[in-house]
A and B are shown apart, each in its own frame.
Chain A
Amino acid sequence: SQTIHQWPATLVQPVGSPLSLECTVEGTSNPNLYWYRQAAGRGLQLLFYSVGIGQISSEVPQNLSASRPQDRQFILSSKKLLLSDSGFYLCAWSVLGGDQPQHFGDGTRLSIL
């Protein structure tokens, strides 16, 4: 069966520090991969999605970036975090196809101080 791993579960970072969140998927090949951010009590904001290695689509311009160095690895990065980057970051995967059901990781709660 397919599993998705996302870490760390929680992270507290100072303003201006870098960020690297990693997500890996097991049990499937060539998945679509997604990064979302969710503010407290709010909806899901799609940040990036990828349909293949090295292919990244950005939905919202900001100081975050994403990379997909391997088929089942998706990384969310920032060079300098802002206070507004706080939130709940969720990685998800689906089989190929933009309208397919998505399966989420446990998420990372990021607090910027």
Chain B
Amino acid sequence: GQQVMQIPQYQHVQEGEDFTTYCNSSTTLSNIQWYKQRPGGHPVFLIQLVKSGEVKKQKRLTFQFGEAKKNSSLHITATQTTDVGTYFCAGGGYSTLTFGKGTMLLVSP
């Protein structure tokens, strides 16, 4: 079946540093989605990318979808303590989404 791998599993940065998480699928995806889960909370949908090579920005967050629609990245510029949480990618498939295992981001002030 479809597998979505996400790296790194964990990253600890100083406030102001940049952060990137990567997502790779074993199969071509119909779309890629990104979610954020704050500590103790539930995953919250951030964005969906559909087109090959698509790039979208949300303030300090930049999302990319690869040309082959098999990989994606989320880049946060100048992290803030409010960015703390686990970021999940999810690949769109035929019947359900396949979630990556997530990247836990810790930001020290």
Contacts and interface: CB of A to CB of B under 8 A. Distances in A.
Contacts, number: 48
A90 B93 contact: no
A108 B56 CA distance: 33
Interface of A: 34, 41-44, 46, 49, 57, 59, 90, 98-107
B85 interface: no
B104 interface: yes
Interface residues of B, number: 22
8 contacts: A43-B88, A43-B102, A44-B43, A44-B88, A59-B96, A99-B30, A101-B33, A102-B43
Interface string B61-101: 00000000000000000000000000010101111110111
A101 B88 contact: no
Contacts of A99: 30-31, 92-94, 97
